[in-house]
A and B are shown apart, each in its own frame.
Chain A
Amino acid sequence: MIHYTPLSESDIYPIDEAAYTNRKCVNYEGKTVFVEKNTNGEYQLVQLLSTDPQDYLNEKFTPGTIIP
């Protein structure tokens, strides 16, 4: 099937609810971070939301870190 439309893919094919529920916005050590639950049930850091450039150098907030 071919679609020719200005709509985005997500407007036509609904996204699996699980994709939203797996991702959470949490406060970790005073910083707002996005975490994703991986297949082992652990939370893995996806994105750090901060304006302090030093936070991005902090090893604790590197993407992919497993949050204890």
Chain B
Amino acid sequence: MEKDTEKKDGQEQEQGEEQQSPSSIVQKIQALGQTNIPQAPDSNIHVLSIIGQIEGHIQLPPQNKTTKYEHILPQLIAIEQNPKIEGVILLLNTVGGDVEAGLALSEMIASLSKPTVSIVLGGGHSIGVPIAVSTNYSFIVPTATMTIHPVRLTGLVISVPQTFEYLDKMQERVINFVVNHSHIKEEKFKDLMFAKGNLTRDIGTNVVGEDAVEYGLIDEVGGVKEAMTKLNELINEGKGNEQQEVIQ
């Protein structure tokens, strides 16, 4: 049996090598529309992309783009442990999703010892807001938006007052996290969350780039360049502190 599998593996490898030559170029063109991609030296900064829906305990259909938190959480541990990684940059373009998964991600990012910077691109809605503010410093591009609205529930709901209390507590956790990790005041955040008339007939506010900075939700308007500069600055600050500690 073992020999058989070895043989198979060998054959597969051979096939793999054959595929490398002309057909791999064809595949590359089919997949990316180009043949070669730029190469760069090793990076001390790692990227975490929170793109698509935040997936919780229920697996979303495969056609949805999802952020798989069960894969991201161990990656964050690896980042914390790896001495070669000096900083993390978070790219956000999410429509929101599972509250508990989102809060888990936010708490993990907030408790990393390494400098973290986030950039909100396109959208950082609902549970994307706590994730965006969980970093040491946050950026938003001028065209990006963040929708702040009350927590919602779909699916089977038991219609008892306790369900409402449960939802209310969940919302309280989100509000507390955002208030503790950004410069926004609790009243202001609640005002935005329960505002009427901003989202047609819905409750909540759609905050655009510069407004998010004005409210104190996000630290600065900026893109990749600003974020990288800030992250390098934070890394250097951290290094300076470490050296001082050693001298003492």
Interface residues of A (CB under 8 A from B): 6-8, 10-11, 15, 19-20, 22-23, 25, 32, 36, 49-54, 57, 59, 62-66, 68
A68 to B72, CA, bound (A): 26
Residue in A8, A19, A22, A63 whose beta carbon sits within 8 Å of that of B154 in the complex: A8
How many A-B contacts at CB < 8 Å in the complex? Answer: 70
A8 to B97, CA, bound (A): 12
Given contacts A51-B48, A53-B43, are A63 and B31 in contact (CB under 8 A)?
yes
Contacts A19-B62, A49-B71, A53-B45 supplied; 10 other A-B pairs, CB < 8 Å? A6-B152, A6-B154, A7-B154, A49-B72, A51-B75, A53-B47, A57-B38, A59-B28, A62-B31, A68-B16
A62 to B31, CA, bound (A): 7
Decide: A66 and B19 in contact? CB cutoff 8 A. Answer: yes
Residue in B30, B42, B47, B60 whose beta carbon sits within 8 Å of that of A51 in the complex: B47
A66 to B26, CA, bound (A): 12
A8 to B60, CA, bound (A): 11
Residue in B28, B43, B47, B75 whose beta carbon sits within 8 Å of that of A62 in the complex: B28
Tell me if B37 is interfacial: C-beta within 8 Å of chain A: yes
Q: Which residues of A contact B60 (CB under 8 A)?
A: 10
- Taking the nearest CB of chain A, how far is it from the CB of B228, in angstroms? 11
Given contacts A49-B68, A51-B88, A65-B31, are A19 and B75 in contact (CB under 8 A)?
no
- Taking the nearest CB of chain B, how far is it from the CB of A40, in angstroms? 13
Interface residues of B (CB under 8 A from A): 12-13, 15-16, 19, 24, 27-28, 30-32, 37-40, 42-43, 45-48, 59-63, 68, 71-72, 75, 78-79, 88, 152, 154-155
A22 to B88, CA, bound (A): 33
A-B CB contact pairs (8 Å), 27 listed: A6-B154, A7-B154, A8-B154, A11-B154, A15-B61, A20-B59, A23-B62, A25-B71, A32-B71, A49-B75, A50-B75, A51-B46, A51-B78, A51-B79, A51-B88, A52-B43, A53-B45, A57-B38, A62-B31, A62-B32, A63-B32, A64-B27, A64-B31, A64-B32, A65-B31, A68-B13, A68-B15
